[in-house]
A and B are shown apart, each in its own frame.
Chain A
Amino acid sequence: MPNDKLNIKKLYALSSENKRFCFPQPLKHSIRIGKRDYEVKLKDDDKYGTYILWKNRKYPVEIIRSRQNKYEILFNDISYTFTVETPFSMQRMKVLNSARGKAEKEVLKAPMPGKIIDVLVREGSNVLRGEPLVILEAMKMQNEIQSPVNGKIIKVLAKANCNVMKDDILVEINAE
């Protein structure tokens, strides 16, 4: 982080679908809807665990992953991935992206132990977000493991009829 961190006036949270949310720094503990500010409280107690209180409603929250400036947040049972950028890093990212295209490696892991029934893609296949890549049998069900991104398969490690442990890498994808 550059030393001029006190000069950062705002931050951007970019969603995986490229939606942009802008927040002032220092961060306000409220969110404006129309002309009104609604207070946001991050709380934690024994009964509920961590939650956000907003407009008199509790929403369960969890941080699933945190990796550099990338965060996967579970909010009300739905997961969202954001990268948080400063105006400076945003600018740099734009430059980098235009210079070399923005390929980023996505590693798809087995969500649970089980047996690979079928591998539906090959190295070099182009895949779309949500497209089934591997069929994994576990917990009495055949489960489609889907691509989290649009991109190109760069490595296939899953083999049909082999058992995998949780978090074993199945395929690697170059995200678009």
Chain B
Amino acid sequence: MKINRILVANRGEIAVRIMKTAHRMEIETVGIRTAFEPNAMYLSKTDIIFDNTEDTSEIPVFLNIEKLIEIAQKTKSDAVHPGYGFLAENAYFAQKCIENKIIFIGPSPDALYKMGNKTIARRIALAANIPMAMGSEGNIDDEEEAISIAERIGYPVIIKAASGGGGRGMRIVRKSEEMAKMFTIASKEAEKAFNDPSVFLEKYIENPKHIEFQILGDTKGNIVHLGERECSIQRKHQKLLEEAPSPALDNNLRKKMGKIAIQIASAVKYYSAGTVEFLLDSEKNFYFMEMNTRIQVEHPVTEIITGIDLIEQQIRIANGEVLKYRQEDIKLKGWAIECRINAENVQSGFAPDPGKIEKLSLPNEPYVRVDTGVQAGSSIVANFDSMIAKLIIKGKDRKDAIRNCKMALDKVWIKGTKTTLPFFRMLVRNPKFLDGSFTTAFIERDLDKYYLNSEYEEMLAAWLATKLFIEENLTDTSINVDFENGKEMSPWLMNKRINQF
């Protein structure tokens, strides 16, 4: 093994996840202590800590290319794992690593660049005869060009940022009168978010499913796919629940889509782990959307049904090893569902609810894998994402997995922030989720309430409010309670107060 020490250029659960596999492979890891999260959990899982707390810049070190190279050199790391987000898909960072003789655990800078630019990716896919939604061949210059293309392919269309991702810089246009305004908005948003105002146009597929294929390739040109993930449960283009396999695919369609996924990856000589995203319409036509050139948040569901450790494969491929699997060796077994437990307020449109995790208890059951980067006492800080934990639930089939999911959700105990738990408690009882017919429009269109509660729960909450009122106003001992009228208090402070009652 050429790789003896990996700098983990990331934080949170994915840093913990990478360290776990590295240690099993007897590879040392380096974690970076930041001023934002000086006591983060991943620091207790790493062999070497690089202290970067003196860096008080608002921009996290995980985005600072020069600094990361310097840290890798100072800590004598021979490889860097970027995780997801931050610099994971940054071709320049990958190139800088190579120039400094540090192994970048991921694909080539060339593949990162080509797939990172959506217009180039589109051109490559077109040349490789990959089914795609109709659209502009390259970037569009102005709204007139956009209107003429939209008239050719038919409305509705979607304007997308060439350098985009994560739902930003995207605008749906349903008629030509809206085009000028939407073109300007999308282009401005793209410039702000990605430093690149270029946009392109695509036919908008109504109510699709989001299906993605996990692929693995080595540096010798061998590529296999590891089946699909169903990721249609999303809000604001951000996934909340993923499962593998998808209830919408049969073996035939899986074979067809898997073959196309491999074809796209081959077109950029892809190596490492990657994901090819498709939209699947109600007639089971599928369209290539984009390729994600990194490990993904939802990778564990694929690991469960294939038994393959994707981080280990990434490390081995970066080490120059030949893939030991051929396509016929990949067997999908059972069902896996991932619930993203985020610090979010489901009652106000999934707005993040950062704060300190006061109490945390996660299921410890054979049918659940828990990936987390926090523990009781950790804070979900506004500088990073709102993830608390991923529950990855196993079952022998979908029904079994959903039943296990219900039990697992009741074994989660989190105090300190609002979470997405009430959403999942509702979801696992929703008929459209149960029968598998949901699409990416599910959350925004098919739900009138984003959470589950019973009338008894509301009654118990009312009982507690009444109890508090009595303690504060109607008992003689209430004199020591110093509620200032109108002043809002930290719930955790008030919590201590209930203890006195």
Q: Which residues of A contact B (CB under 8 A)?
A: 1, 5, 8, 11, 13, 15, 19, 21, 23, 25-27, 31, 33, 40, 42, 44, 47-50, 52, 54, 58-69, 71, 73-80, 82, 84, 111-114, 130, 132, 136, 138-146, 148, 166
Interface locus among B46-54, B107-115, B259-267, B343-351: B343-351
Contacts of A80 in B (CB 8 A): 458, 461-462, 465
* B314 interface contact, C-beta 8 A: no
Structural contact, A66 and B348, CB atoms closer than 8 A: no
B470 with A78: CB separation less than 8 A: no
Q: Name 26 interchain pairs, CB-CB below 8 A, sorted by A.
A: A1-B474, A5-B473, A13-B466, A25-B474, A40-B463, A42-B464, A44-B499, A62-B494, A62-B495, A64-B491, A67-B485, A67-B488, A75-B453, A75-B458, A75-B460, A76-B453, A77-B414, A77-B419, A78-B422, A80-B465, A84-B465, A113-B382, A140-B385, A142-B236, A144-B351, A166-B382
A141 near B236 (CB under 8 angstroms)?
Answer: yes
Which stretch in B90-98, B140-148, B208-216, B352-360 binds the other chain? B352-360
Q: Could you say which of A21, A25, A65, A144 contacts B463, with CB atoms under 8 Å apart?
A: A21
Asked if A82 and B351 sit within 8 Å, CB to CB, the answer is: no
Chain A at the B interface: mostly helix, strand, loop or mixed? strand
Q: Contacts A111-B352, A141-B238, A143-B349: A68 and B494 contacting too (C-beta < 8 A)? A: no
CA distance A144 to B352 in the complex (A): 10
**Selected contact of A111 from candidates B345, B383, B487, CB within 8 Å:** B345
The distance in angstroms between the C-alpha atoms of A26 and B465, with both chains bound, is 14
Give the docked Cα–Cα distance between A48 and B359 (Å): 6
Contacts of B491 in A (CB 8 A): 62-65, 74
For the complex, is B468 an interface residue (Cβ under 8 Å from A)? yes
Q: Which residues of B contact A74 (CB under 8 A)?
A: 418, 491
Closest to B423 in A: A77
B415 part of interface (Cβ distance < 8 Å) = yes
Question: CA A136 – CA B456 in complex, angstroms?
Answer: 34
- Taking A31-B459, A139-B352 as contacts, is the C-beta distance between A66 and B422 under 8 angstroms? no
A residues less than 8 Å from B415 (CB atoms): 48-50, 60, 62
5 closest cross-chain pairs (CB), A and B: A84-B469, A21-B462, A13-B462, A75-B461, A71-B465
User: Could you tell me the distance between the alpha carbons of A140 and B351 in the complex, rounded to whole angstroms?
Assistant: 11
B168 contacts the other chain (Cβ, under 8 Å)?
yes
Q: Which of A8, A49, A71, A140 is B359 in contact with, Cβ under 8 Å?
A: A49
Known interface pairs A76-B422, A140-B166; A132-B464 also in contact (CB < 8 Å): no
Interface residues of B (CB under 8 A from A): 85, 166-168, 236, 238, 345, 347-354, 358-359, 361, 382-386, 413-415, 418-419, 421-422, 451, 453, 456-470, 472-474, 483, 485-489, 491-492, 494-495, 497-499, 501
**Of B353, B465, B470, which contacts A73 at CB under 8 A?**
B465
Nearest A residue to B168, CB-CB? A142
Residue of B nearest to A55 (CB): B456
How far apart sit A5 and B472, CA to CA, in the bound complex (Å)? 12
Given contacts A42-B501, A78-B457, A138-B382, contact A66 B483 (CB under 8 A): yes
Residues of A within 8 A of B470 (CB): 11, 25-27
Q: Are B466 and A19 in contact (CB under 8 A)?
A: no
Residue from A33, A73, A141 within 8 A of B461 (CB atoms) = A73
Q: How far does the Cβ of A19 sit from chain B's closest Cβ, in whole Å? A: 7
Of all chain B residues, the one with the shortest Cβ separation from A1 is B473
Q: Please state if A19 and B458 are interface contacts (CB–CB under 8 Å).
A: yes
Q: Which residues of B contact A71 (CB under 8 A)?
A: 464-465, 468-469
A25 to B467, CA, bound (A): 10
CB-defined contacts of B421 to chain A, threshold 8 Å: 77
Residues of A within 8 A of B485 (CB): 67-68
Using CB atoms, name the residue of chain A closest to B342.
A139
Contact A112 B382 (CB under 8 A): yes
Report the separation of the CA atoms of residues A61 and B463 in the bound assembly, to the nearest whole angstrom: 12
**Inter-chain contacts of A146 with B (CB < 8 A):** 348-349
The CA-CA distance from A68 to B468 in the complex, in Å, is: 11
Q: Could you tell me the distance in whole angstroms from the C-beta of B351 to the nearest C-beta in chain A?
A: 4
- Chain A residues with CB under 8 A of B472: 66
In the complex, how many angstroms separate the beta carbon of A160 from the nearest chain B beta carbon?
A: 12
- Shortest C-beta distance, B495 to chain A (Å), equals 5
Q: How far is the CA of A15 from the CA of B464 in the complex (A)?
A: 13
Shortest C-beta distance, A128 to chain B (Å), equals 13
The interface residues of chain A lying within 8 Å CB-to-CB of B494 are: 62-63, 66
Contacts of A15 in B (CB 8 A): 458, 462
Distance between Cα atoms of A31 and B458 in the complex (Å):
12
- Chain A residues near B386 (CB-CB < 8 A): 139
Query: What is the CA–CA distance of A54 and B456 in the complex, to the nearest angstrom?
Result: 10
Q: Tell me the complex Cα distance, A148–B385, Å.
A: 24
Q: Which residues of chain A are within 8 angstroms of B462 by Cβ–Cβ distance?
A: 13, 15, 21, 23, 80, 82
A75 to B453, CA, bound (A): 9
- Take A77-B421, A111-B348, A140-B166 as given contacts and tell me if A59 and B457 are in contact as well, using a CB distance cutoff of 8 Å: yes
CB distance A65 to B461 under 8 Å? no
One of B350, B352, B464, B474 near A5 (C-beta < 8 A): B474
What residues of B have a CB within 8 angstroms of the CB of A82 in the complex? Answer: 461-462, 465-466
Does A138 lie within 8 Å of B499, measured CB to CB?
no
Do the beta carbons of B353 and A111 come within 8 Å of each other?
yes
A52, A68, A77, A114 — which one has the most chain B CB atoms within 10 A of its CB? A77
Residue of B nearest to A84 (CB): B469
How far, in angstroms, from A27 to B462 measured CA to CA in the complex?
12
In the complex, what residues of A have CB within 8 A of residue B463's CB? 13, 21, 23, 27, 31, 40
Q: A77-B421, A111-B353 are in contact. Are A69 and B469 (CB under 8 A)?
A: yes
Determine which of A44, A65, A142 lies in contact with B489 in the assembled complex, contact meaning CB atoms within 8 Å: A65
Contacts known (A80-B462, A84-B465, A112-B382); A138 close to B457, Cβ less than 8 A: no
Task: Write the nearest CB–CB distance from A10 to chain B, whole angstroms.
Answer: 10
CA–CA, A77 and B456, complex, Å? 14
- Determine the chain B residues whose CB is within 8 A of the CB of A73 once the complex forms: 461, 464-465
Q: Report B-chain residues with C-beta under 8 Å of the C-beta of A49.
A: 358-359, 415, 495
Kindly state the separation between the CA atoms of A60 and B421 in the bound complex, as whole angstroms.
12
* A145 engages B347 (CB within 8 Å): no
